[in-house]
Amino acid sequence: MSKILGIGNAVLDIILTVDHHPEEDEELRAQNKQIATGGNVNNTLYVLNQLGHSSDICTTIAADSESKQLLSGLKERNISTEHTQKFIKGRTPSSYVTLNAQNGHRTIVHYRDLPEVSFDFFAKIEIEEYDWLHFEGRNTTQLPGMLNIAKTFLTHQPISLEVEKPRDGIETLFPNVNLIIFSHHYAKAKGFSDGQALLESLELPNANTVCTWGSDGVWFKAINSDVEHINAEKVSPVIDTLGAGDTFNAGLIHSLISKHSLKEAVIYANKLAAKKCQQPGLDNLMAEQESNKALANIKQLSNAKTMVVNRDSGQSLVLIKYEESVRCYVNNCPHQDVPLDEAYKIDVNPFEKTMKCSVHDAYFNIEDGVCIDGPCWDESLQSIDVKVDENGDIFIV
Ligand code: FRU
């Protein structure tokens, strides 16, 4: 476990799920409303906590009523607020987000009227306590000083910087960090048509650099290496993209903390961000979705024996090899709605290619689940489509 300090924004997100993005002048009824704490660094720290680290946020907080909601949200996320700079003037930064239920895309209208963290405030933090510092690339009047002291006082702790948008003076920060994560918005604004061109244009011999490009994948350049690229993960259906970039950053930091290479870290982060897009919000990101879990591995199966898999949902499945492929049936005999292995194990005849319900001796074809002899003759077991991946793991399609 590492201790991570994130420096950036904490925002109150008001998220409305809609069935399409509204046109100007349209009046639209939302399907759902959710209020969550957000902001890039806050989201990244939340995911890092779920990956087993402990995190503190260095941010500014207003004194209005919404700030209480924001602070309790940070507490719920287990992010320490010891280093929050309070302002009497100004209001809690808020994002009004429409989340399109058709494609998971989010549209953000952001409001902010609050000063950013000052250099003097940051300078009082004992940054030596932390194993990693992660900065949101904003507040470019104060960040150069912060990075200077971080560089001076930290001997072995990496410093990362997220560069989401072009901002005046942001380039002056680059030489003082070890990892820079660029978004395609920044690259495009600087006139680059892909991440390769951006990363090749930079002269940063001491930094790992990464550029994410949505469905075009991710480019990355490790120190003293050439630019490499990986494809975007295929995600279907996309449920919610809000915070996917922040999740990517967390995955990258986590994997690098675990001493993986930049390439391994990018691959891991890419997968984690894809996983995030398949679920609403950021809660329970590490919980394995049952639908994504392998039922078994083909090596565990044979043509002469069934394997019964009991799923978390309570569903029981029967797996068996048929020739070189796999058959999967719901473990339920159509005769009396009982599991096929209720009385005893399911007998298999590999020569006849049949299997027998242990309760009243109904024989089923392994190939198609049809009952060819017994009390439910001509009825069928319920078949489930499965696929086998390159490692032999079997998944429900
Ligand atoms: C998502 C997010 C939201 C926040 C907005 C700020 O990446 O951090 O949580 O409201 O972006 O720009």
Residue-wise pLDDT tens digits, 152-173: 999 899 999 999 999 999 999 9
Give residue 293's pLDDT: 81
Residue 36 sits in the same domain as residue 146: yes
Atom of ligand 1 nearest to the CA of 39: 8
Q: What number is the average pLDDT over the span 184-201?
A: 97
For 322, the domain range is 291-396
Q: 168 and 86: one domain? A: yes
Q: Which whole number is the average pLDDT over 76-91? A: 96
70 lines ligand 1 (CB under 6 A): no
- Residue 193 shares a structural domain with residue 273: yes
**Does ligand 1 have an atom closer than 6 angstroms to the CB of 93?**
no
Q: At which of 253, 277, 301 does a domain end?
A: 277
241 and 309 share one domain: no
Both tokens assigned to 64: 């209005």
CB 243 within 8 Å of CB 254: no
Instruction: Count Cβ atoms within 10 A of the Cβ of residue 394 and give its class: 0-12 exposed, 13-18 middle, 19 or more buried.
Output: buried
CATH of the domain at 356: 2.102.10.10
Q: How confident is the model at residue 183 (pLDDT cuts 50, 70, 90)?
A: very high
- 297 domain-assigned: yes
Q: Per-residue pLDDT tens for 195-238?
A: 999 999 999 999 999 999 999 999 999 999 999 999 999 988 89
Q: Is residue 388 part of a domain?
A: yes
In a domain, residue 283? The reply is: no
* Confidence at 55, pLDDT banded by 50, 70, 90: very high
Which of 34, 42, 70, 95 to probe ligand 1 with, by most ligand atoms within 8 A of CB?
A: 95
Mutate to test the pocket of ligand 1, among 108, 116, 134 (most ligand atoms within 8 A of CB): 108
Q: Is 164 in the pocket of ligand 1 (CB under 6 A)?
A: no
The answer, yes or no, to whether any atom of ligand 1 lies below 6 A from the CB of 11, is yes
Question: Using 50, 70 and 90 to split pLDDT, how confident is the model at 69?
Answer: very high
Residues 261-320: tens digit of each pLDDT: 999 999 999 999 999 999 999 999 988 766 678 999 999 999 999 999 988 667 899 999
Give the chain's radius of gyration (CA, Å): 27
Query: 284 in a domain, yes or no?
Result: no
- Spacing, Cα 97 to ligand 1 middle (Å): 9
Question: Are residues 306 and 261 part of one domain?
Answer: no
**Residues 140, 246 within the same domain:** yes
Q: Which strand (E) or helix (H) includes residue 97?
A: strand 91-100
Q: CATH code at 243?
A: 3.40.1190.20
Q: Which of 219, 244, 277 is the last residue of a domain?
A: 277
CB atoms within 10 A of CB 349: 12
Do 74 and 134 lie in one domain? The reply is: yes
Q: Is residue 282 domain-resident?
A: no
Kindly state whether residue 375 falls inside one of the protein's structural domains.
yes
Residues 77 and 123 placed together within one structural domain of the fold: yes
Has residue 389 been placed in a domain? yes
End position of a domain, from candidates 277, 310, 331: 277
Tell me how far CA of residue 156 lies from CA of 131, 150, 177, 223, 341, in angstroms.
Answer: 8, 11, 12, 16, 59
Q: What is the mean pLDDT of residues 73-82?
A: 96
Atom of ligand 1 nearest to the CA of 106: 1
Say if residue 297 is in the same domain as residue 151: no
Taking all residues of the chain, what is their mean pLDDT, rounded to a whole number? 95
| Residues 220 and 337 occupy one common structural domain | no
Amino acid 306: pLDDT: 97
**Confidence (pLDDT) at 314:** 73
pLDDT the model gives residue 98:
95
* Same domain for 295 and 269: no
pLDDT above 90 for 397: no
Q: Are residues 236 and 164 in the same domain?
A: yes
Query: Could you give the number of structural domains in the chain?
Result: 2
- Do the domain assignments include residue 163? yes
For residues 236, 291, 99, 62, the Cα torsion angle rounded to the nearest 10 degrees is: -130
